[in-house]
């Protein structure tokens, strides 16, 4: 395991310490969350976690959870989530996030909004002084309107690329939409940008997760830091 993977694993294991028997869990998507899923699955199998159920944020997480023996549920059965563990692509000093690098931003935001506590796990390379400094903003749009919305977002000041899959085809989300990766550079007013993106009928959701993280667990060379949002 390389150094960065080891940091991801350490952050994930720290987050799993907050999981208790009987909880409804939100299960995020991505390489860091994979370590949390493995730890949860192990504790379910050994019997130290009982009566938990998870709501996955992607088809990929659903399959991994099933393979690991994590019981799953849905919003039809549970409309409130006790605790979500998820990753992020960028975290600012106020614990606002950019998410969506893995393509699951729509379901991830639904789950985050339904969660009593939302724990984000990252390595220290994801920390940023200002959102947009390190990562582009993923924007999920309906296929019918992608070119129209790309032009609109460019007028807001971004360089926009239609996301492609590794095989060169247009990337498709679990909901059958496409993603525009929008590089704004440092975003001085993320709340205003979020509102501007929400105005458009063709935009389904954006990767600005503002005010949704209750905790951020950061793994770095000097150890683990647990950051909490000021209430």
Selecting among 3, 20, 38, 108, the annotated active-site residue is: 108
- Tell me the pLDDT tens digit for each residue of 70-95: 999 999 999 999 999 999 999 999 99
Reply yes or no on whether 108 is catalytic: yes
Q: By percentage, how much of the chain surpasses pLDDT 70? A: 100
Determine the pLDDT at residue 231: 64
Residue carrying the six token digits 């979020």: 194
What is the per-residue burial (b if ≥16 Cβ within 10 Å, else e) of 173-204?
A: beeebbbbbbebeebeebeebbebbeebebbb
- Tell me the pLDDT tens digit for each residue of 209-230: 999 999 999 999 899 999 998 7
* All domains in the chain, ordered by first residue: 3-127+210-221 (3.40.50.1360), 137-205 (3.30.70.260)
Cβ contacts of 92 within 8 Å, gap of 6 or more: 128, 129, 130, 131
Alpha carbon distance 131, 114 (integer Å): 23
- Tell me the pLDDT tens digit for each residue of 27-76: 999 999 999 999 999 999 999 999 999 999 999 999 999 999 999 999 99
Determine the pLDDT at residue 4: 85
């Amino acid at each position: 395991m390389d150094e960065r993977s080891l940091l991801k694993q350490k952050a994930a294991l720290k987050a799993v310490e907050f999981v208790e028997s009987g909880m409804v869990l939100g299960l995020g998507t991505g390489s860091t969350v994979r370590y949390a899923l493995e730890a949860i699955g192990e504790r379910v199998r050994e019997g130290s976690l009982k009566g938990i159920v998870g709501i996955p944020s992607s088809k990929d997480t659903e399959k991994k959870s099933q393979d690991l023996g994590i019981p799953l549920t849905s919003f039809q059965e549970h409309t409130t989530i006790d605790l979500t563990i998820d990753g992020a692509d960028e975290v600012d000093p106020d614990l606002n996030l950019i998410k969506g690098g893995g393509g699951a931003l729509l379901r991830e935001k639904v789950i985050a909004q339904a969660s009593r506590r939302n724990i984000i796990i990252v390595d220290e390379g994801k920390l940023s002084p200002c959102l947009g400094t390190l990562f582009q903003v993923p924007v999920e749009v309906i296929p019918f309107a992608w070119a129209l919305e790309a032009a609109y977002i460019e007028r807001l000041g971004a360089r926009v690329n239609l996301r492609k899959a590794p095989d060169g085809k247009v990337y498709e989300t679990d909901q059958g939409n496409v993603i525009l990766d929008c590089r704004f550079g440092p975003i001085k007013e993320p709340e205003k940008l979020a509102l501007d993106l929400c105005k458009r009928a063709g935009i389904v959701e954006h990767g600005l997760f503002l005010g949704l993280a209750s905790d951020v667990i950061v793994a770095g060379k000097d150890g683990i830091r647990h950051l909490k949002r000021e209430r």
